[in-house]
Chains A and B, each alone.
Chain A
Amino acid sequence: MKFKMRWPQRLIQLGVLIAVLGLWYWATLPGGINQLLLPPPAPVFRNFWNLLTTSSIWPDLAVTVREWVTAFFIAAVGGCTLGYVISRSAYAVRVFDPLLAGIYSIPAILLFPLYLLFFGLGPGSKIAIGTTIAFFPVVLNTIAGLSYVDKAYITAARSMGANDAQLFWSVMLPAAFPVVLTGLRLGCIVAFLSILGGETISSLAGLGHRIVSLAENMESAQMFGNILFAVLMAFIINGVVSYVEARGRRGMQ
């Protein structure tokens, strides 16, 4: 969604931000909310700044990023391959597309206890849950993209004597690319979110693990700092992935 940014809106948004910070500060004054539940803003931001400037978070960050990249890679390769194979035949699309969409409507997080049983508390179970959740948007969008290419393009290319490879590389792929790219973007983001979720539920290391263990030790200020860090990271991922998608879309046209 695009917004026309005008001064009054900007000012009100700034006002809301200041009001939230002010309310936060006011609520944590002596006699207010228990500091274990809501620490005052100053130590939270000090912790957040420490996380950004020191290397203390790197080991956990590395674990989360490795899980995320692995899960996304498996989901992207597997999803695109399966989507391509299914989309080769209109019959297979009619058989498997509703099946995959049906499985997609089961909340995949339910499988997490099983994955903990199969793959243990380490990165394996997070990679598995991230892969499962990211796989479906990729495969469904690949099928949608490749199987709804305008038939006129295909007929035109065929009548001009294109062979299978030419048809795929010069007609099918460019036409399907934007839809496939959307699937990859969604997969990339949900993989990150579900890995954070998995780490929160049960894990040995990672960003989610850090937040949970700080919460359990009642280190509220540090926990809030880490939460801010994870939120910032999610925003950056969102921004980068949307930018790459927009670039890739333009590049193909």
Chain B
Amino acid sequence: MNGRRGPLVSPGVARIFAIILLFVIWEVGARFYADPLFLCPPSQAVVALKHIFADPKIVNAIRVTIYEVVTAFLLSVSVGMVIGLAVGLQGFTKSTILPIILLLYATPQATILPLFVLSFGIGPAAKIAFGVSHGIFPVIVTTVAGVQNLRPHLLTAARSMGASRVQVFTSIVFPHMIPSFFTGMRLGMTAVLLGVLLAELYVSTAGIGFYTRLFAESFAPPDLFALIAVLAAIAVTLNELCRTMERRFSRWHAA
């Protein structure tokens, strides 16, 4: 940008142009140069969306996936919060248990995916369990960090004014937890999505993993692209939902 004149269009408009340009290149490249067995132009993927939503089995598979993500997310958040509070509220438990939790957090969960399938079967239970194994750790760690941010003088002041344990929790700990709670929710959602999708892609009899495999193996790129686009849209929506809540509920804290 030079000093005298601003850019021709605002960044937002330029971004939309960049996206359109990308799709045009893809369309032209796929239509005229690529092997239709492997790559399809985006327009065909849009047309294939109709197939996807017309087939009740695929719609059901998408519904099952959403159900798995939401269940795993709710479990991760509720259990993770409780563990995080239990571990974080006392210095002793924190310095004892938190290193163990961080150790577990750092293990590559993909390697134990076959174990989840062996113990929970190939149905939704394994996907939910695997999603929880991804989502619970960020929730625990951010909850502990949130408790840590609590200013000690607030606690001391409340106690010296005769607040009970419950009162301390409801009027000091809880309000201060809210921002980190929503940060934990956002990170947890990203992780749960990864876990559930990994498990779906690994083995699935009726979920979306079954269909991605089917479309890939039967060389039907339009259907594959359409299904992936639908899943990406769901993932982005869920992520954005958490992000918006985080932004909304952490605002009061800055004041």
Contacts and interface: CB of A to CB of B under 8 A. Distances in A.
* Binding site secondary structure of chain B: helix
Interface of B: 1, 7, 11, 14-15, 18-19, 38-39, 92, 95-96, 98-100, 102, 106-108, 110-115, 117-119, 190, 193-194, 197-198, 201-202, 212-213, 215-216, 219, 221, 224-225, 228, 231-232, 235-236, 239-240
Contact of A13 (B96, B215, B236): B96
B215 A110 contact: no
Contacts of A16: 100
Contact of A114 (B19, B194, B228): B228
A107 interface: yes
A52 interface: no
Contacts of B228: 110-111, 113-114
28 contacts: A1-B98, A4-B95, A8-B96, A13-B99, A37-B115, A91-B14, A95-B11, A95-B15, A99-B19, A102-B236, A105-B236, A105-B239, A107-B232, A109-B194, A110-B235, A111-B228, A117-B221, A200-B110, A200-B202, A201-B198, A201-B202, A211-B111, A216-B114, A227-B111, A227-B115, A231-B107, A231-B108, A234-B108
Contacts of B193: 107
A76 interface: no
Contacts of A111: 228
B44 to A, nearest CB: 14
Nearest to B118: A37
Contacts of A95: 11, 14-15, 18
B212 A200 contact: no
Contact of B18 (A96, A193, A227, A235): A96
- A interface, how many residues as a size bin? 35 or more
Given A37-B119, A107-B193, A223-B114, 17 more contacts: A91-B11, A95-B14, A96-B18, A105-B240, A107-B197, A109-B201, A110-B228, A110-B235, A113-B215, A113-B216, A116-B216, A118-B38, A207-B111, A234-B106, A235-B106, A235-B107, A238-B106
A112 B112 CA distance: 19
A112 B201 contact: yes
Contacts of A40: none
Contacts of A94: 11
Contacts of B239: 105
A34 B104 CA distance: 24
A75 B216 CA distance: 25
A157 interface: no
Nearest to B213: A113
Contacts of B197: 107, 109-110
A3 interface: yes
Given A200-B111, A208-B110, A215-B114, A113 B15 contact: no
A111 B231 CA distance: 11
A98 B231 contact: no
